Structure 1
Amino acid sequence: MEGVREVFEFLGKNRFGFLATQEPEGARVRPFMFQFEDGGCPLFCTANFKDVFRQLQEDPRCEVAFCSPDWSVTLRVRGRAVFFPGEEQKTRILEENPSLKEMYGSPDNSIFEVFRLEDWEARFWDFSGTTRVVRP
């Protein structure tokens, strides 16, 4: 489990990445923020009126790419987005993120959604060309 711990440590230090989804016209990529590890899975949030929510409902397969500040290490996490009620997770997200608290207000906001990446695998890559795969 050393590799899994390393994945979550990297995500905790480099929380902003780019999430890729699929739609009929092709791939879509947008900035996204890792929240925290939840049940052994990366956790994210979004609003249910956004295209990304619809896209992940239609095809939950996705990938999120993160980089170290100097861009020397990239971490890509691929998995299946699973939405769930997540009241406890929503509460924590709002406590830890003032900008999201301002946006959503409370955990029971009807547009506020959380999802985990389940069945995930991660790939570390560095400038030396080394790739390492981590699976839980």
Structure 2
Amino acid sequence: MASKRQMYDFLSKNPFGFLATVSPEGPRVRPFMFQFEDQGCPLFCLSNDKEVFRQLKEDPRCEVAFCSPDWSVTLRIRGVAEFFPGLEQKSRILEGNETLKDMYKTPDNPLFEVFRLTQWEAFFWDFSGKKDPVEK
């Protein structure tokens, strides 16, 4: 069994993944970036004028997949998107990401949203097909 620390270390080194949501038309996948661990949960951000925001509000169940640079290890995290005001988290995000700072400018930007993946379960996979669950 992999530890939670191993999961967050992997995410810190490989923060770009793909988030899958459910829409009336079927599954939808798009690139997404892990921000940091917050209250034991993976934290993400987005703009509330995007389709993905509406999809997660309608059905907060989602999954995110991340890969090592050589694609030999995959981490998948399934959970429930929990939105919250998160001014402290938004400030931290903007301090560490110039692209997002240029986009949102300030933590109180009305378009800027954060969510944690709660009720999450995560698994590592490698080329051998070995599935290694992450302890909570």
Q: Give the TM-score of the pair, scaled to structure 1.
A: 0.98
- Partner of residue 54, structure 2: 54
Counterparts of 2:11 and 2:59, CA distance in 1: 24
- Partner of residue 89, structure 1: 89
- Partner of residue 9, structure 1: 9
Deviations 1:41-79 (A, max 9, x none): 000000000000000000000000000000000000000
Q: Give the aligned CA root-mean-square deviation in angstroms.
A: 1.1
Shift, 1:2, TM fit: 6.1
Counterparts of 2:18 and 2:95, CA distance in 1: 23
Alignment partner of 1:128: what SS? Answer: coil
- Partner of residue 39, structure 2: 39
The answer to whether the 8 A contact 1:18-1:64 is kept is: yes
Alignment partner of 1:69: what SS? Answer: coil
Structure 2: state its 5+ residue gaps: none
Counterparts of 2:21 and 2:2, CA distance in 1: 29
Read off the aligned partner of 1:41 and give its amino acid letter: C
The answer to whether the 8 A contact 2:2-2:133 is kept is: no
Shift, 1:99, TM fit: 0.2
The answer to whether the 8 A contact 1:120-1:135 is kept is: no
Structure 1: state its 5+ residue gaps: none
Alignment partner of 1:49: what SS? Answer: coil
Aligned residues: 136
Shift, 1:133, TM fit: 1.2
Which portions of structure 1, spanning 4 or more consecutive aligned residues, are displaced by more than 4 angstroms?
none
Counterparts of 1:55 and 1:3, CA distance in 2: 31
- Partner of residue 98, structure 1: 98
Q: Give the TM-score of the pair, scaled to structure 2.
A: 0.98
Read off the aligned partner of 2:95 and give its amino acid letter: E
Counterparts of 1:107 and 1:125, CA distance in 2: 36
